Amino acid sequence: MNYTHLGRTGLKVSRIALGTMNFGELTDEAASFRIMDEALGAGINFFDTADVYGGPQSPDMEKGYGISEEIIGRWLAQDGSRRGRIVLATKVYQPMDTGPNDKYLSAYHIRRACEASLKRLKTDHIDLYQMHHVDRATPWEEIWQAMEQLIREGKITYVGSSNFAGWDIATAQCTAAARHLLGLASEQSLYNLTQRTIELEVIPALRYFGIGLIPWSPIGMGLLGGVLGNKIAKGRRATPNLQQRITRLRPQLEAYEALCDELGETPSDVALAWLLHNPAVTSTICGPRTVEQLQQNLHALTLKLSEETLAKLDEIWPGPGGEAPKAYAW
């Protein structure tokens, strides 16, 4: 396993992170345990979850949120040595109940949400506490005050963000600096060959501030997993939205899957390897539903793409034209 620093911090994490959104919803507890066993055995030390994972992600529906954290907590409780071998990351923001203060990033909710996550995870600290989304209705002074308090109490170590725009990252960092805080250690963003918008402003902001990038949805919700040549097009992911995207992107998908065939590699591995070739990427989230899927993902760590292949991928899946403002101005 390869490891790298999480942004400008001294913390080292595996280049592949175990995403656990499927735990409790699509993957039962026994299978989740096997996946975590396999991940730890393979050297993956970065486990990512969220307080809302494990169900429909809405308290207005059948209760299921929090299940992923609970599964991880029970797995950690099986062996006391496991907690010290992983970097444990979770998130706060999404609604966890139907009350007006049971969501977002008020100091009130952050404190209560952290306590609840610690209880579900059966641990006394969270290594990376991530804001699941930006909350522009809450002042940054309040957010950082809440995070700083949790750090002082030893309940969290690092703070991260997810789904932030470039200017959100800059605003957060400037406010943190005024309080003499480290600020953000990482940002989780939607990033894959089909969705490259963050190359405009998010990646430049992360590079400037020394913040690690953790892409989520590396294979585009299955679109880059060989969707034309396997059961994904007819399976559980065959949503109307996915079918529309397949229709719209069919020429590109055909070219992409043909290129992967030439390379003798699976489309999902090529998609992961493409991300790992980017120096801005710290670790990419992989959310396997089975041990076999996890084992397949690990191959991407050793897959080296030539400059010619990278150029061909850019031709098939062009980005936004570079970084702002050069992408659209002189």
pLDDT tens sequence across 193-210: 999 999 999 999 999 999
User: Region 107-133: what's the mean pLDDT?
Assistant: 98
Instruction: List residues with catalytic annotation.
Output: 53
14 or 25, higher pLDDT: 14
pLDDT at 62: 57
Note whether 305 and 273 are within 8 A (CB).
yes
Q: Which CATH number fits domain 3-222+267-305: 3.90.850.10, 3.90.180.10, 3.20.20.100, 3.40.50.850?
A: 3.20.20.100
Cis, bond preceding 100 (omega within 30 deg of 0): no
Nearest to 45 by CA among 2, 86, 88: 86
pLDDT averaged over every residue in the chain: 94
pLDDT at 57: 65
Residue 253, φ and ψ in degrees, nearest 5:
-65, -40
pLDDT band at 241 (very low <50, low <70, confident <90, very high): confident
pLDDT at 232: 55
pLDDT at 228: 92
Whether the predicted pLDDT of 233 surpasses 80:
no
Whether the predicted pLDDT of 250 surpasses 80:
yes
Listed by start position, the domains of the chain span: 3-222+267-305
Quick count: other Cβ atoms within 10 Å of Cβ 125?
A: 17
Could you report the per-residue pLDDT of 36-86, keeping only the tens digit for each?
Answer: 999 999 999 999 999 999 976 656 555 567 999 999 999 999 999 999 999
pLDDT at 239: 78
pLDDT at 146: 98
Q: Is 228 helix (H, G, I), strand (E, B) or coil?
A: coil
Two tokens at 141? 């002074």
Whether the predicted pLDDT of 236 surpasses 80:
no
Cα separation, 109 vs 104, in Å, equals 7
